[in-house]
Structure formats: structure tokens, C-alpha cells
Amino acid sequence: MKIDSICNGIVLDHIEAGKAMRICAALGLESLDCTVAIIKNVKSEKMGRKDLIKIDEMIDLDLNALGFIDPNITINVIREGQLSEKKKLRLPRELFNIVRCKNPRCITTVEQEADQIFCLVSENPPLYRCAYCDAAYHGK
């Protein structure tokens, strides 16, 4: 299989196998007019299997959503066919409107316009708590 290199764009690498489609949905990649290549189950010496996403355009990425879905993703920025920047992610300290509180008594259930805010309280295992009612959200 041949996947062409990109001249100017972004490559999301080291995605845990099976998470590429969730990332596409979270970032709204299906609505882009540029070429987006989703490569699933690529053999990897480091990970065994991984997913990879190539975006043939510079776009703004929601780093908090990416870090929440898979904090091990590497973001490679390509300019004029060359790697110009490499970013490593980590679990975000706060999540804004990425997950919803499941507590039926939380103010965000009644006030639909209220932002869904969760704060990281533990990295291993990942645990977030609602900023309003302290309800737990257990990672992925």
C-alpha cells in the first residue's frame, strides 16, 4: 500500500490501535476539504500495532481532546516536505466540553448551557472530577 508524503500538514503518530476513528470524530476531520489519510493497525516495533492520521493541511488541533483520547500521540508538523516540529502530548489538566457529567443532580444536567469542566486528579489510572459536583469520570 502506498500513502504519499505530505508537503504541508500534520501527521498524528503513535495513536493506540483502534482510536483513529474516535480522533477523527473528536477533531471533525470528516468535514475538512483537504486529504485526510487514516491508516489503521500499522505494524510498529515500539507499540506492536498503531494507528496513524495524515492531514494534508495545517489545521488547529484540540490538544486537550487529543491528549484525553490518547496522551501518547506524537504530533508531527510538516512544512515544505520536512519535519519542522514534533510535539508530545500528555493528559490535560482540565477538560472543557469534551466529556459530559453523568450525575443527574449536577448543575450541568439542569443548565444545558453550562460548560462541562473536569479536572485531572490522578494520572495513573486517569481520573477526572466534575468541577461542579465532584462526580468522577474514569479515563477513556
Q: 77 and 99: one domain? A: no
Residue 119, strand partner residues: 94, 129
Which residues fall within 8 angstroms of residue 52, CB to CB, at 6 or more apart? 11, 12, 13, 15, 20, 37, 38, 39, 42
Q: What are phi and psi of 109, to 5 degrees?
A: -75, -40
DSSP 63: H
Asked if residue 1 is part of any domain, the answer here is no
Residue 140 banded pLDDT, cuts 50, 70, 90: low
Nearest to 123 by CA among 103, 101, 135, 140: 140
Asked if residue 43 is part of any domain, the answer here is yes
Supply the pLDDT for residue 6. 86
Q: 73 and 98: one domain? A: no
Structural domain boundaries enclosing 113: 94-137
Over residues 98-110, the mean pLDDT reads 93
Over residues 32-43, the mean pLDDT reads 92
Q: 22 and 82: one domain? A: yes
In three-state secondary structure terms, 65 is helix
Contact 15, 50 (CB under 8 A): yes
Q: 77 and 109: one domain? A: no
Residue 55 banded pLDDT, cuts 50, 70, 90: very high
Supply the pLDDT for residue 44. 87
Q: 67 and 116: one domain? A: no
Over residues 105-120, the mean pLDDT reads 93
- Distance from C-alpha of 40 to C-alpha of 44, rounded to nearest angstrom: 11
- Distance from C-alpha of 38 to C-alpha of 109, rounded to nearest angstrom: 35
Residue 1 banded pLDDT, cuts 50, 70, 90: low
Asked if residue 4 is part of any domain, the answer here is no
Supply the pLDDT for residue 138. 85
pLDDT at 8 > cutoff 70: yes
Contact 92, 63 (CB under 8 A): yes
- Report the domain count for the chain: 2
Q: 103 and 64: one domain? A: no
